Copies of this chain bind each other. A is one copy, B any other.
Amino acid sequence: MTLPNRPRYAARLNAFKRGKEGVAGMIARAGEVGGLSAADLNYPDHFEGTTPAALSRLLADQGLALNGLALRYYTEAGFKLGAFTHPDRTVRRAAIDLTKRGMDALAEMGGSVMTLWMGQDGFDYSFQADYAAMWDDTLAAMAEVCDHNPVLDVSIEYKPNEPRAHAVMPDMATTLLALRDLGRANAGVTLDFCHMLFAGEMPARSAMLAARYSRILGVHLNDGYGKRDDGLIAGTVHPVQTVELFVALEKIGYDGVIYFDTFPDHGGLDPVHEARANVALTEKLRTLAQGLVGHDALAAAMARQDAAASSRIIAGALYGL
């Protein structure tokens, strides 16, 4: 039931981690899933004790393309108080340089997207930080990083909170405000379904704003209850919002990877089975979404905001109402 000319699937490698094993085992297990055709690697941790070339071989052995890299500013590495917004200039410099090295590794491996989740860049208390300085520092760092290699795309993955109580990049619109100010053609945004939900956003509407004011460089699929980053199997809680997002992505023409950013470890699920459930549900919901693109009666109902009519059409498509 694979759809032609449509996004490929990738999954969070750390979901496949067993105990203290290294990246090779995770890649092998991602290969076992069957429906995945790409993977993201974390920089720097997945590169420890190995080389970009060796990692490329491990991926190729499993038939996996490299989607991109995800920078991780780990607290143990000194980024507890922030990366691009750390109060100490030396640490900010270290964060920028680490990101550049990550981009070099990405280029060496032939990948195209560097995803930045600046999880430590935020604040916990009122009167803890100078908000204006944090904003300036973020923009300056982003500019330097984007200019390091304009051939590569750099994507911001926003998230309302955790680990910090408030993030510098908490939601779609704040991210777009920064991206417009930044003015770099190789910068864009990553949509994470759970992050959108607990930012109080309607995912398809955030996709519209992203496409209008920037570029969608990644889509992280998962699901949850809108209160935190639950990381559940895609489509298990908000199937209608998931389908609406697929319709929006189809209209926008997004053809990048669909990346499953789920946490099978939380619920003690077998990661290979869980990944297969992600693929199966997503394929099904995407196929249903396909039938809603260019659906005249649906468009007519929406043109008059008639949710009684559109909800029946959607229920018809989903449940055969």
Contact = CB atoms under 8 A, between A and B. Distances in A.
Most buried by B among A171, A180, A276: A171
A233 B308 contact: yes
Contact of A228 (B162, B235, B309, B315): B162
The quantity of this chain's copies bound in the complex is 4
Given A171-B173, A238-B237, A305-B87, A319 B267 contact: no
Nearest to A176: B177
Interface string A19-52: 0000000000000000000000000000000000
Given A165-B225, A226-B226, A128 B307 contact: yes
A180 to B, nearest CB: 7
Nearest to A303: B87
A144 B240 CA distance: 36
Contacts of A128: 267, 302, 305-307, 310
Given A124-B266, A240-B126, A208 B308 contact: no
A126 B81 contact: no
Contacts of A277: 308-309, 311-312
A236 interface: yes
Contacts of A153: none
A165 B232 contact: yes
A74 interface: no
A18 B312 CA distance: 24
A284 B160 contact: no
Given A171-B171, A171-B173, A285-B319, A228 B228 contact: yes
Given A237-B238, A240-B236, A319-B288, A124 B162 contact: no
A132 interface: yes
Closest 4 CB pairs of A and B: A173-B173, A81-B268, A80-B268, A173-B174
Interface of A: 75, 80-82, 87-88, 123-132, 135, 160-166, 170-174, 176-177, 180-181, 199-200, 202, 204-205, 208-209, 212-213, 224-228, 230, 232-233, 235-241, 243-244, 264-270, 273-274, 276-277, 280-281, 284-285, 288, 292, 298, 301-315, 318-321
13 contacts: A80-B267, A123-B267, A125-B232, A126-B237, A127-B298, A127-B302, A161-B227, A164-B267, A165-B232, A165-B266, A269-B306, A273-B306, A319-B319
Given A125-B267, A237-B238, 14 more contacts: A81-B305, A88-B304, A124-B307, A127-B240, A127-B313, A128-B310, A164-B267, A172-B174, A180-B180, A227-B227, A239-B318, A277-B308, A280-B321, A284-B320
